[in-house]
Structure formats: C-alpha cells, structure tokens
Amino acid sequence: MTKAEQTEPGVIVLRGDLLFSTVTRLRHQLETLLRQQQGRCVLDFSGAGRVDSSALALWLACWREARRLGIELSVRELPADLKSIADLVGLDEALG
C-alpha cells in the first residue's frame, strides 16, 4: 500500500510504488501533511518502490504547495529512476 507518513518533525516518508495508479490519493495525503509543517520539511523517498513519471509530477505539486505555504521542501533518498526521469525532461535541478 502506498502512503505518506510523518516519521519525525519535518520529515515525511513515502512508502510504496509511486505510479499513475497511486499518486492521486498520495498527493492528498501529502498536501494534508504539508499543511501541518512549519519552516522546513524533507520528503523522504527511502520507502518508495517503483516510480514512473507521475512521481515527478507529485514532487512538483508538493513543491508548489510547500512554496505556497512558506515551507522549504527538500528531498532525501531520491530513487535513481526518478532522478533519470527528471534528467530526461530537464527538471533535475528542481529536485535539488
């Protein structure tokens, strides 16, 4: 099961596959968790399984929401496949 959970203050861990079939529900979870953050937040991909291009869209949506909320969002343990997708479309710098 794909889910997002806050494991410690300022850290949200993604668990499961980040695919077209899972990211819409996950996005709602992440936006709820982001609204509970203050200052800085890390989106930790260490629990992520398979990823496709929708994982990049998820990151961008979260980044925009965090920015709107005044939160500095960064990533940890970025999956190699997600980094490759970002490189392919020229968004590698957006991932930090």
pLDDT tens, the chain, 96 aa long: 899 999 999 999 999 999 999 999 999 999 999 999 999 999 999 999 999 999 999 999 999 999 999 999 999 999 999 889 888 888 777 666
Instruction: Tell me what pLDDT residue 92 has.
Output: 72
The CATH topology of domain 3-95 is Transcription Regulator spoIIAA (3.30.750)
Distance CA 52, CA 39 (A): 29
Instruction: Tell me what pLDDT residue 95 has.
Output: 66
Residue 69, phi then psi, degrees to nearest 5: -85, -5
Q: What pTM value is reported for the model?
A: 0.91
Provide the token pair at 86: 């970002």
Contact status, residue 15 vs residue 45, Cβ threshold 8 Å: no
